[in-house]
Every structure is written in C-alpha cells, then in structure tokens.
Amino acid sequence: MEFIRALVFAWLYFALPAAAALPELPDMGAPSDTVLSPDEEKHLGEAFYRNLHQHVRISQDLEIQDYIASLGGRLVAQSEMANRTFHLFVVMEPEINAFAGPAGYIGVNSGLILATQSEGELASVLAHEIAHVTQQHLRRAFAAAKRLTLPMAAATLAAILIGTQAPELGQAALIALQAGGIQQQINFTRSHEQEADRVGIQILTASGFDPRSMPLFFERLQQSTRFLGQNVPEFLRTHPVTSARIADTRARAETFPYRQYPDSIGYLLTKAKLQVLTATDLSALQKSFETQRRQGTLEAKAAASYGLALSLKAQNRLAASQEILQALIERFPDQPQFIHALAQVELALGQTEQALKRYQSALQRFPGSRVLQLEYASALLENARFQEARRLLEALLPSQALQQPLLFQLLARAYAGLGAPAESQRYLAEYYYATGDLERAIEHATVASKLAQGNRILEAITQQRLQDFQAEDKARKQN
C-alpha cells in the first residue's frame, strides 16, 4: 500500500505542477469539507488545463478552437448553467474520447470529431459532458474520495485522460485510488452516466439538434468496437455504453417529433480541416475530397472543396489550391475560413501585399474575428512590421490570456523585433506558464526581471510574475 501511495505522489510531483500549487484548498477528510467554492474550482480548472498541455497536444488552430467553443456555447446556453463560463477545446489525438474537467473545462479528441457522421452526434457528446458539469458529478466524485486532498483529486482527473496516452501513469494512480477504499466511486459513476444522458438529450433538443443523434452515435460506437476486446476506445471505457443505455436514450429521443437537422457549414469545414491535419496519406485524402465535392448538399460540396484546397496546399501545390479557394470565395464571400485559407496560400506564394490587404479587408467586414486578428498579426510579424503587430496583439490581451498561448508567443516575437528584450522575455514566460511548463516560465521570467531593471513599471510586473511562478514551484515541490 505504501509503495503504491509513493508511486502516486511521485507521479503527482512530476506530472501535475499546477494543480499541486493549491495548498490553501481544503482537505477532503470529511463530507462537510468537500464542497469547492467557485473561486477554488476556478483555480483548479485553470491549473488542470495548463497541465494538460504537457501531456496531450491541445489544438492551437484558431478556427478549430472557435468552432468548438461556439458549438459548446450554443449547448451551454440551454443548460442549467447558462450564465457560467465553460471552456471547450480539442485534443489532437486519434483516440475516440471526450472528458469533463473541473470548472467547466471540456475536451474532445480530434478522433471523436472525425468519428461523428453529423453535427448532432458531436453535439450529443458535448451535451453529455456539459451535463456532467451541470449536475455536479465531479464534485460528487470529490466527495467520494474522502481521504484525498484536492490536488490529488485533480491528479486523478488528469490520470483518466493521461491514461489514454501513457497507461502506466494513469493506471498507477487509479490502482492507488481503488486500494484507498473508494471503489464506490465506480458504481456512483454509472448513475452519473444515466443522468448525463437524460440531461444531455434535453440540452441537445433545446439547442436545435436531433435528440436521436445520441443513441445513434452510441450504438454505432458499440457495434464498431464489439470485437476489439481490451482495445475499445477510451470514451467507452470511461463512459460505458450498454444496450440498456442505448435503449433508454432512444426511447427518450422518440418522444420528440422528427424533422431534418442539417449540419452547419462550420462543422463541415472543421471536420475537413481536421482530416487534413491528421492525414497520414494526403494523396489518398485528396482523391476522397475530389469525389465528395461532386455530391451532397451545396455546403457539403463547399466543405469538400475546402478540404481539397487544404490538402493541395499541404502538398505544396499552391497554384491549384489558390484556384479552388478563389472560386469558393466567389460563391461564399462571407465565409472567413475561405478568406483566411486563401491569404495563407498567397503568403506561401510570396504574394505578401495581396495577402495583407486581404486580411485588412476581411477585418473591416469581420472586426470581431480573433482568428483573422491573430493570423493578420502573424503575417505582419513575418514581414517585419513589428509595431503594427504589437498594437493589434496588445488590444487582444484582456480577453485572450489563459485560452490563447499563441497570443503570448506572438507578442514575444513582436517585442523581440522591436528591440525590447525584457518585454519579449516577459511574454515568453507567460507563454510557457500557459502551456504548463513552469520551469521554462521561471527561466524566462528571471531573464525578464534582470533586463527590466531601470524601468520601474516593467520591473515591478516581471518581479511579481517571477514571484508567482516561484511560489507555485515551491508548493509543487512541497507536495
């Protein structure tokens, strides 16, 4: 038993620096101590999310991020926590999986998105995960872990995810938890799944999606993995789908009238882009898109053409990609994904001024698009227009910080180009902190603090952040 506990604490030390830096949170020793305050849960969620960057590849593609956040927002708006902030993100892993973490952090694997055959199926999975949060299933799981501190509870949640990528780490933690006498948590989870199905279907229907999508997707997963033995998708391990569950969700779905539920073009474009980003054979994917663009709805054909253009660009066939995207913009002038893709091809072709003007024009039409703002700033940096990029990026800081590490990275490049190394190092420190690399964050914050000497305001800012990072590192090591 002591050996297993030692394994878990060793794993916690190396794998969960951010979550371990919450010594002020309550011990889970008694039921009355198990309720997290909103502020405590917020800090735990932020630490959980930062730490995930060190173990899985979280998509930094702005268009993919925006789509999944938009879809999640549409679902959350119809939930019991419509006024609460949720954070949805895509994990670039082929396994079929989705999970809900503390403070409404919900991740979905690219493999699961690609396994869906309709937007309703994807929405059904997200609605199910949102229901886990709204019904406070995570808090109940904490309450079941009576002998665990909150950082260890966070480590357990991380272990469930990390176990899909590094089974020996996740399994060590889970074995220790079972040995600790909380096997009841597993049984408790079965009732969670039933409740999440029921609430999820309500959210799904209220959001304008087909409630039949949930049993349809679950049933297809079950049938396609029937003979896989121990190699079933992680989603089915953490969310076991039984025939009874499928029957129950189908019965609930059938109480709603049937109608057509077309996929949004955002879903179709996101799926096409993910296919290109995860392709192992671009030539074969190109042929598939060529076939798809001749069939289906107008939106489906457009998405296939978009996927074809992206696959051609990935193969450095830039002129062919440009021709397809120009034709798409003529038919869909208000689709920012096509504008951005064409600007990227123009940059690759060396048509720099044309690309920059395209971004400028697009931002006049879509002034709130963070995708276009950040991509335009990146293009400015590539062309040594550092002051313009800095002004654009700093205007985004108040709303982008935690969720967009790329913003910090671009700001570091902008200040480096402007000959301001202290500011550059400061934002590099923020970038590494946002992505869970506390050690490198401290290194860059230390350099920034030294370089800032003589600038009273910047010196105070960099020293404070360095102290914050060092305090968190100390708390981690004490655990």
Query: Which pLDDT score is estimated for 356?
Result: 97
Q: What is the pLDDT of residues 79-117, one digit of tens each?
A: 999 999 999 999 999 988 888 888 899 999 999 999 999
Query: Which pLDDT score is estimated for 274?
Result: 98
What is the Cα–Cα distance from 54 to 286, expressed in whole angstroms?
33
| Res 27 pLDDT > 50 | no
Query: Which pLDDT score is estimated for 36?
Result: 66
Spatial neighbors of 420 by CB under 8 A, at least 6 apart, are none
**Percentage of residues of the chain with pLDDT beyond 90:** 61
Q: What is the mean pLDDT of residues 419-440?
A: 95
Q: Tell which wins on pLDDT, 324 or 334.
A: 324
Complete DSSP assignment for 81-126 = TTTS--EEEEE--SS--EEE-GGGEEEEEHHHHHH-SSHHHHHHHH
Query: Which pLDDT score is estimated for 37?
Result: 74
Query: Which pLDDT score is estimated for 56?
Result: 86
Query: Which pLDDT score is estimated for 384?
Result: 96
Q: Tell which wins on pLDDT, 191 or 438.
A: 438
Q: What is the mean pLDDT of residues 410-429?
A: 98
What is the Cα–Cα distance from 383 to 204, expressed in whole angstroms?
45
What is the Cα–Cα distance from 135 to 381, expressed in whole angstroms?
45
Query: Which pLDDT score is estimated for 45?
Result: 82
| Res 23 pLDDT > 90 | no
pLDDT band at 335 (very low <50, low <70, confident <90, very high): very high
Quote the tokens at residue 196.
């999440």
Query: Which pLDDT score is estimated for 17?
Result: 38
Q: What is the mean pLDDT of residues 405-410?
A: 94
* Radius of gyration from C-alpha coordinates of the chain: 24
| Res 450 pLDDT > 60 | yes
Q: What is the pLDDT of residues 340-369, one digit of tens each?
A: 999 999 999 999 999 999 999 999 999 989
Query: Which pLDDT score is estimated for 165?
Result: 47
Query: Which pLDDT score is estimated for 99?
Result: 87
Terminal CA-CA length for the chain: 19
Quote the tokens at residue 218.
């679950």
Min mean pLDDT across 235-244, 295-304, 373-382, 407-416 is at 235-244
| Res 155 pLDDT > 80 | no
List the one residue out of 128, 123, 150 whose CA is nearest residue 42.
150
Query: Which pLDDT score is estimated for 15?
Result: 37
The domains located in the chain, with CATH, are 2-253 (no CATH), 265-349 (1.25.40.10)
Query: Which pLDDT score is estimated for 320?
Result: 98
Q: What is the pLDDT of residues 267-288, one digit of tens each?
A: 999 999 999 999 999 999 999 9
Quote the tokens at residue 401.
């910080």
Could you write out the three-class secondary structure of 385-408?
CHHHHHHHHHCCHHHHCCCCHHHH
Spatial neighbors of 68 by CB under 8 A, at least 6 apart, are 88, 89, 90, 108, 270
pLDDT band at 403 (very low <50, low <70, confident <90, very high): low
